[in-house]
Structures are given as structure tokens and as C-alpha cells.
Structure 1
């Protein structure tokens, strides 16, 4: 089945293609059902570029970036630019929600690094009013856009929800946590420099700001109290835009949620121990204190389900320099999360206490010296 093309034009350069109209002349397309797909490979970055239309009739045409069109009643058609960094060998697809004052072009290099280093497929998109996307940005449109992109990942890229990891940075943690809340079966959630809520950021977590207010927005604190997937928090201790206290508050909420989640599953952490005290300890005449010392084994944690994986607190890091100053540690923590902490069973201590950041990153400080 072949669908008729609309009038389309693309202007191409060696490194990108820019959307002008709607059809790529002379390019054959593969069609499934009522969805038309054309693939255009970028010769330099090898990035898949497509445009998708969600306005009736539903059709998919090709150009530089994936564009979601979802008309608002009475408004003009809205386009949201999306770019897929493909990886045919990847198990997980990383849905990346960028921060404020950023767009796809700012994130593409990082996305390619993440694809290559973590062996993931990455999907980037611009919120309405950002980059090449049209419309206006606000909390409602942010959520509308990420929902449409998630639908595209599942319905058109054919990715199972359980193979999606949602990652957000700064304000992007709000749409990321929304997807984790609305799709409880996703593999995991990564929140980099997250805000607890908009008012908590504005109020710098003053006594008033710590309260729940009816007009507050971007309520990551509420959604982390309801998630059902492993969640990794990353934050710099010297963040001057979103105070580190936001991440600490979210981690507290996440630990509470993890305890509730374990109870809902009628599950409890399983601890296998390397040594055990002799069952005849007391009967052999040993004192209770010496018996207790013998019975104090070194715990080996295995098969421990938890939502609150050990966070990455970066000593001295600010809001916008985590990748620049701590990229190796950043990548290693992401890799550990993807390789060992996702799925139904996580090989990690059951909600371990977070060690002081000065201990965790003493090695980094020594390297810098």
C-alpha cells in the first residue's frame, strides 16, 4: 500500500537536513498500514532523520528530524522536532529530555557519546518553543510533547516499554518523571540535576517553600512518591541554579516509595551471608557476647529489588558542568545503572546509606591535584 505524498522539500547539507516543506523527491518509501516511512542517513553523524505527522490522516514523511504534529483545537498545527540516534545492537532506548536553554543541536554530541559508550539507542526532542519546534513552552505542552514522543518510540520504533529508560536533565526531569509515572513498566529513570518542584527552586527550600502548595508546578516530588522503576539521581553539591537540597529531598521520597513498593510486592530484601555462626554456639558454653561476635557475618547482598539505587552526588559540581568536569564518573555510574540495576532484580545493597560526597569522590580530588 502506498500513500500519496504531500508537497515536500528538503534542503540538505553534508551534516544536516533542514525541514522546509514535506516530500523528498525521488526517495522510495517503505509503507506499513497507513504509516509511510522513509529513511534518510546522515553521512557524517549516521543519525536517522525522519518527520512524523500526527494530524489526520496519519502519515510519516522524511526529512531532517522527527516532527510530531498534534493540532490544538482552534490553533495552528504544532511541530515538535525529534532526532533518533540509532543503535541496532542496543537493548535499551534512552528517551532524553534536555534542560532549559538547550535544544537538539546542543545535545547531539552527548547523545552520540551515550550511544557509543553505553550501547543504547537515544531519542532526542525539542519541547514546543525550543529549537526547531513550534508553539509555546509551558508545563502543559512539555508533558503533551513527551507523551507523543513516547507513543512514537513504542508504536513506530517498535520498542517495548520495558526497554525504555527515561533520562531528564534540569527542567527535563519533569517530563522524564511523568513518563516513569504513567508507564510504570519502563526499565528505569535517570534524573540529572533535578528540581523537587518549581516553587522549591524559587523559594530556595525556605520553610515556606518546603510545604506543598496548590499552585506549585513540575512536581517531581509527588511523582517520585509513585514511581515503580529503579531511579538514579545525579546532582552537583554546588549547583547554584537548582540547589542540591532538591536532590536530597527527592532521594528521601524515593526511599520511602521503595519501601512501600516492596510491601506492595509482598517482598523483602534477601541477604545472603558468607559466614554463619555455629548453631551450637550457646550450647558450647560461649558467652552471649562472644557468640554474637561469631554470628556477625559480612553481608553479601544479592537479589535485592529496590527503586532507590545509590545516587551520584558530585562534590563541587555545578548545574552545567557535570559532563565537562566529571564525565568519566558520570558515564561509569550510568553504565552500572544500565548493566546491573535495571529489571526485576537488582544486584545492589538494599537502599544503602549514601556515603559522604567527600569520601566518594576523594579519588577524583586526588587525580585533580
Structure 2
């Protein structure tokens, strides 16, 4: 039963580009691996990493000589490294970070088949590569998870107590909750982020579009509500699921976050070996469980941000009877996605951002990046 459910979940959740957008070519003279279809850069390494589940995954590591931090990027669905390559290079340049991006098992030129458990092994292999091959430290690594990539990102973050920070871009509460407004956590669900996010000890930035028609903005809001260390979120007015990089406030807010993280005091190390950290058992939400109430339902003391609940006087942004203290502009608002976050500009429509960022992203073809693509046959 478990194997059948896992197979069904994989078919429902994963849409690797077919055919892949790139090939890996090994130069005979140097033995160095390169990617076809993308511009060669001196500061980029193309890697093949073995996972603990026996798959060989492709990764790219981008160096920035000014970097103090390293971004480990888990991309969204229906994309691979060939489509994400230019975006990764631009993020490394403008955020002044080293960046490692990787393809999940079954994506691009990575071997194996896509599955929840394989993605956990994939991100572990990428993390080990950063530590063992590039000398990165846990306290200098930021995990970035986009859409379905928020699953392996959140899972790994729960097992790294000294992680510097986490960025969740259009994240999901869980796989099942993308399709159905369930309020319970079932054992056959995948990527149970809503149950794991309270276990993440580092600062978390959540970015979500208010007009996301694939993963509703309420997913990002509920995850932000359950974070231990909340950073000012970015609710992109009018932003959909695949176009947030086109909005100027996207890169501006990321720069602001990176700058704040760089200035923050480092946590004490006291770390065990890398294998010890990754071998820590996950929460029981990864495995077969009896249906139970999820954390967003059990914790009555937390304020709900579910759009389907009845408006509450303390949270509904349409409520006209707010008191003066609730109109205080210095307060962060979670339930007013139509308002700027602490002065961030929210344009009426997407346009080119600073530093040629919007123009570059459009050349990547955002319509093909990170679409959860529900089909007519999944229901």
C-alpha cells in the first residue's frame, strides 16, 4: 500500500522537463564537465554527485569572489538546471553569494526517478558537496526552496540547527493541500511543510504572490505564521506562481535580507560530523501515520490566516472598524497582501527590475519554470 501511494504521489507531484533542456559534456583535454546550451563561465563548476539512494544528480556551483554566504537553491517543478542557469548566475552576482543549484533525481541529466524521498537524498548530497568540496560552513549557508523545492528545503533545515537562514519562494503547506483544502495531515501526504516549519531554528523569509493561481498565497502566509524566527515577508501584489522574479521588489527584498543576515551574529558551531547531522531522524510526518490534526489546526493560540475562514476583527484587512493602534504603519501585516511590506514598492504590473534582472529572467522563459501543472487526470 505504501509503495503504491508513493508511486501515485510521484506521478501527481513531479513534472520533469521532457526532453531535458541541456546535456552534460566532458572535455577530453581537461576532463572538466560543462553544460550544453548555456554560456560557459570560468566561475561555474558542473558536477555529478552521488546520493545515498544510488542516484547520480547534476549540480552547478557558481563562485562569487565577494561572497560571505552560500545559497543552496532547490528549484521548482517543470524546470531543470538548463532553464535555471542564467537566473542562478544573476542571483549569485547581484546578491553577492556563492550558489549551488541541483537537479532532482529524474530531472535534467540526473538519474533515477522523482520521488519525495529521493529529493531528500538529493539535497543532502548537494549540502555535503558544499561542506566537503567547497569548505562551506553550516552557519554560512542559506537554503532556498521554490514551490515544490520548499519540501526538501524545509526538511533539511529541520536537521541543521546552526543553519544561517531559509528562503521559501511560493512554498506549499503540503502536497495534498495544494489540491484540496484539507485541515488534517495524512500519512500518504508529501512534503508536510506545515508540520516541519516550527522546527526550523533560523530566520525564515517567505515570498509569495498574492495572485498565485497554482499555490494560493495562504500557503505562504500560514507557513510564515508558524516560523520561530520570522523575517519581514514579501507578498508581491499581483504576482503569480512563475513570475515573481520580474518584480523589482523581489531582488530588492532579497538584497535586504542577505544584508541583514550577513550582519547578524554567527551562531556557535559545536557541530558533529556531517553524516551525523544528516542521519538524524526526520519527524514522523515523513512516514505512514494515522490521520491527525495538523499544527495549524491544533494550535488554537495561533492566529489563522486561512482565506476560507470567517473574517476576524483582528486579522481581516477589509474590516473598517480597526482601532488606531492597528493602523500603526510600523506594524508588520500578515493579512493585507495588497499593502506594501514596510515601505516596499508594489507595482501594478510586472516590469523590468533593476540591474537588467527582469530582462534576464524573461529570457529564461518563466512560463516553463516551477509550474505545479495540475492536469485534468489528477482529480
In the superposition, the TM-score normalised over structure 1's length comes to: 0.65
| C-alpha deviation, 1:26, in angstroms | 4.5
| C-alpha deviation, 1:340, in angstroms | 1.2
Instruction: List gaps (5 residues or longer) in structure 1.
Output: 1-15, 29-37, 50-64, 259-306
| C-alpha deviation, 1:159, in angstroms | 0.5
Residue number in structure 1 paired with 2:226: 253
1:180 counterpart = 2:180:
no
The equivalences for 1:54-69 within 5 A come to 65-69=46-50
- Equivalent pair of 2:237/2:346 in contact (CA under 8 Å): no
| C-alpha deviation, 1:111, in angstroms | 0.9
Residue number in structure 2 paired with 1:274: none
1:106 counterpart = 2:83:
yes
- Equivalent pair of 2:147/2:172 in contact (CA under 8 Å): yes
Q: Within 2, Cα distance between the matches of 1:219 and 1:350?
A: 33
Residue number in structure 1 paired with 2:15: none
The equivalences for 1:257-336 within 5 A come to 258=228, 307-324=229-246, 326=247, 328-336=248-256
Residue number in structure 1 paired with 2:96: 119
Q: Within 2, Cα distance between the matches of 1:213 and 1:82?
A: 33
Q: Within 1, Cα distance between the matches of 2:72 and 2:256?
A: 18
| C-alpha deviation, 1:88, in angstroms | 2.4
Residue number in structure 2 paired with 1:216: 189
Q: Within 2, Cα distance between the matches of 1:43 and 1:367?
A: 31
What SS is found at the alignment partner of 2:117?
A: helix
Of residues 3, 18, 24 in structure 1, which corresponds to 2:24? 18
| C-alpha deviation, 1:351, in angstroms | 8.7
1:48 counterpart = 2:44:
yes
Instruction: List gaps (5 residues or longer) in structure 2.
Output: 1-21, 267-328, 352-379
What SS is found at the alignment partner of 2:339?
A: helix
Change (3 A) 1:368 1:189: closer
| Number of positions where the alignment pairs a residue of Structure 1 with one of Structure 2 | 264
- Equivalent pair of 1:310/1:354 in contact (CA under 8 Å): no
Q: Within 2, Cα distance between the matches of 1:43 and 1:365?
A: 32
Q: Within 2, Cα distance between the matches of 1:240 and 1:26?
A: 49
Change (3 A) 1:159 1:323: same
Q: Within 1, Cα distance between the matches of 2:70 and 2:347?
A: 33
Q: Within 1, Cα distance between the matches of 2:350 and 2:74?
A: 31
What SS is found at the alignment partner of 2:184?
A: coil
What SS is found at the alignment partner of 2:42?
A: coil
The equivalences for 1:237-248 within 5 A come to 237-248=210-221
Change (3 A) 1:351 1:221: farther
Change (3 A) 1:82 1:368: closer
RMSD over aligned CA atoms reads 3.0
Structure possessing the higher radius of gyration over alpha carbons? 1
Q: Within 2, Cα distance between the matches of 1:137 and 1:213?
A: 21
Change (3 A) 1:132 1:123: same
| C-alpha deviation, 1:96, in angstroms | 0.5
The equivalences for 1:339-350 within 5 A come to 339-341=259-261, 343-344=264-265
Of residues 339, 364, 367 in structure 2, which corresponds to 1:359? 339
Residue number in structure 1 paired with 2:138: 161
- Equivalent pair of 1:81/1:133 in contact (CA under 8 Å): yes
What SS is found at the alignment partner of 1:364?
A: coil
In the superposition, the TM-score normalised over structure 2's length comes to: 0.64
Residue number in structure 2 paired with 1:147: 124
| C-alpha deviation, 1:70, in angstroms | 3.8
- Equivalent pair of 1:195/1:247 in contact (CA under 8 Å): yes
Worse overlay, 122-131 or 359-368: 359-368
- Equivalent pair of 2:145/2:168 in contact (CA under 8 Å): yes
- Equivalent pair of 1:310/1:351 in contact (CA under 8 Å): no
Change (3 A) 1:69 1:150: same
Q: Within 1, Cα distance between the matches of 2:148 and 2:331?
A: 26
| C-alpha deviation, 1:344, in angstroms | 4.2
